[in-house]
Amino acid sequence: MQSVNENQRKAGRISLVGAGPGDPDLLTVKAMKAINSADLIFFDQLVSAEIRALFPQGKPAFYVGKQKNKHSFTQEQINRLIVLKAQQGLHVVRLKGGDPFVFGRGGEELLQAASAGVEVDVVPGITAASGCTTAASIPLTHRGLSQACTFITAHAEKDLTLDWSALARLDQTLVIYMGISRASFIRDQLLCAGMKASTPIAIIENGCRQNQREILGCLNDLEVLVEVHAVTSPAIIVVGDVVLFKAQLQRAQASASAHVSGSDDDDVGEALLSRPCA
């Protein structure tokens, strides 16, 4: 065996790839191409088992995920590891749930790589706010209900700098990532900032996965709903009138099918519309 000349060694690179919200069908063609051409994959816990099942046989893939209170790797360690592997000439795919540039801390990993002179590229993914709301039939913007949408995270290592009074405006949809453990804080902040207690909310747990759950209610009950339904992460919280769209849609479908078959379809959406809120 001849040893490969140092300067002939192929240059490594890092692809920062979004895996989308969990459904393997929502993976992009580009993400799959990256997975297939990778020498090495590093993934975190938001990359679903169904997506991991698509990794080619024998492809080295390592879990570097973090879980609240039990960090397996620090962000700093991950950053160093992927740069090191790329510097050894490997094509490293850093696969992250959702979109790497929306609360994915992808920027930090990429900055480290770029400053080390490693070649990088980014493959966007369907972010949870988009995938999960679609799966729950809730449009993020809708004429007459919402003219804008804002994504925030309630989980940050540094102090959150959020302008709650701007967030509390009702002409937009608010999507809160990683907010389950801080439900009462979020509720209090929004109420204090003047948002109505009756503002419709939806909690979407395990969005775009087989075990997706949707819990509808109003802002005032946010904390209670999380507790009563024992909601666990991953989950997003959607706040705004667009949540009513789901109910409106279900009502339209129910009356259309009642028209055909005479069935009388009473469901959660209907209940929500008529539910009195504090």
Binders of other proteins among residues 60 to 79 (CB under 8 A) are none
Q: Which helix (H) or strand (E) holds 257?
A: helix 243-261
Cβ at position 25, least distance to other proteins in Å: 4
Cβ at position 226, least distance to other proteins in Å: 21
Cβ at position 51, least distance to other proteins in Å: 8
- Does 10 contact other proteins by CB under 8 A? no
Among 30, 39, 66, 241, which one carries the catalytic annotation?
66
Cβ at position 90, least distance to other proteins in Å: 17
> Cα dist. 52→19, 71, 107 in Å?
10, 21, 23
Cα dihedral: 243, 132, 140, 179 (round 10)? 80
Positions in 215-244 near other proteins (CB under 8 A) = 242
Q: Which stretch binds other proteins (CB under 8 A): 49-57, 62-70, 88-96, 270-278?
A: 49-57
Cα dihedral: 165, 214, 248, 167 (round 10)? 10
- Does 266 contact other proteins by CB under 8 A? no
Q: Is 66 a catalytic residue?
A: yes
Q: Residues 45, 87, 134, 233: which binds other proteins (CB under 8 A)?
A: 134
Residues 6+ positions from 46 with CB-CB distance below 8 Å: 19, 22, 65, 96, 97, 98, 234
Among 44, 96, 221, 246, which one carries the catalytic annotation?
44
| CA dist., res. 10 & res. 93, Å (int) | 16
Coil, strand, or helix at residue 222? helix
- Name the residue nearer to other proteins (CB basis): 221 or 237: 237
- Does 248 contact other proteins by CB under 8 A? yes
| CA dist., res. 267 & res. 146, Å (int) | 24
Q: Is 266 a catalytic residue?
A: no
Q: Residues 41, 81, 93, 172: which binds other proteins (CB under 8 A)?
A: 172
| Catalytic residue set | 44, 66
